[in-house]
Amino acid sequence: MLSQLNWADLFAELGKAAVVLAVVGYFGKLVLEQYLKRNIQAYENELRRKSTQEFKELELRLTERVALAERARERRERWFVPLLGATRDLQERLANVLDKGAYSALSPSYVRQGDWSMNHRYFLASTVYLFGQYFCWSRIVENRLTLDVLGDAAARDGFLELIRKVRATLSTFPMADLKDRFPHAHQPAGGSGGDAQVFALQQRAMGEAMQTGSDDAPRCLTFVEFCRRWEKGAPDEDSVRDLFAPLEAVVSEVRPDGPRWSRLTLMRQALAELRSECERVAVARGGTA
């Protein structure tokens, strides 16, 4: 039966089929390449679009984060640097009173001694001013200290506790109740009548009386402005002498080993802790120590 086949015709037909298959394969390859090319191009375009969108979103988030960090830095410089300065000033005045014998000038009967050109009127007014300056800036910080300024709630609460610790040294009565905050401090015996306090709301009122400027840019009274109000009040303002009377009662005629002396000693200790934290925040977050 094989001998009856026309091999020439068979090979001719097979050749035609091969050509057809080759042509079909060639065009099929072209179609497939075009299809793949279009899909690859579409995929690449989609990747570019998504990458561009993600990049823009990332850029926006980074811009917002930088803006928040910058605003926090500005607030730290606006509030922490003045608070640090007020803390240093009061700490140094307490050192003069407690360590260098300057407490004698807080007595109305003080008479100039030797070469020290000091008088009671100036020393009392300037001492009260330095307390008021601290009350002012600590109050400003308390009112404006948001989470972003220090990073988180724990840091903020820890900082505010340092301010409360300073406040407690003058406001707590009896003094024995300070033992939780100052467990190793000497507690003088009470009941002698020599103690005096400046309660928390009184400290707040003094701080608010010292504050001036706008809500966006608060500042503390200068010493000249304070003295004008301390002595007799500005023409359109009342004297603040009565408002500061509780503080004057604490510092006036203070003597070593008395309860008011112990209060000032504890206050200086608490101010040192607050000052250290102010300096740490300023240095760690790019401020000015």
Residue 282 near residue 137 (C-beta atoms within 8 A): no
The rounded mean pLDDT for the chain is: 83
Q: Is residue 68 one of the residues assigned to a domain?
A: no
Structure confidence at residue 151 (pLDDT): 75
Q: Which pLDDT band holds residue 287 (cuts at 50, 70, 90)?
A: very low
Structure confidence at residue 50 (pLDDT): 73
C-alpha distances in Å from residue 149, one per residue of 7, 51, 146: 95, 33, 6
Mean pLDDT of 211-225: 92
Structure confidence at residue 113 (pLDDT): 82
**Does 166 score more than 90 pLDDT?**
yes
Residues 6 or more apart in contact with residue 231 via CB below 8 angstroms: 239, 241
Q: Is residue 60 one of the residues assigned to a domain?
A: no
**Which residues, listed in sequence order, are joined to residue 218 by a DSSP beta bridge?**
213
Identity of the highest mean pLDDT range in 54-58, 59-63, 244-248: 244-248
Mean pLDDT of 169-175: 95
Q: Is residue 109 one of the residues assigned to a domain?
A: yes
Instruction: Give the range among 137-141, 189-193, 250-254 with minimum mean pLDDT.
Output: 189-193
Q: Is residue 6 one of the residues assigned to a domain?
A: no
**Two tokens at 5?**
């086949």
Q: Is residue 278 one of the residues assigned to a domain?
A: yes
Q: Is 211 helix (H, G, I), strand (E, B) or coil?
A: strand
Q: Is residue 153 one of the residues assigned to a domain?
A: yes
As for how many domains the chain has, the answer is 1
In the chain, the percentage of residues whose pLDDT exceeds 90 is 49
Q: Which pLDDT band holds residue 255 (cuts at 50, 70, 90)?
A: very high
Range of the domain at 277: 75-284
The pTM for the full model equals 0.75
Q: Would you give the DSSP letter of residue 151?
A: S
**Does 288 score more than 60 pLDDT?**
no
Residue type, 146: T
Structure confidence at residue 167 (pLDDT): 98
Q: Is residue 240 one of the residues assigned to a domain?
A: yes
Q: Is residue 51 one of the residues assigned to a domain?
A: no
pLDDT in tens, 67-114: 555 565 666 677 788 999 999 999 999 999 999 999 999 999 999 888
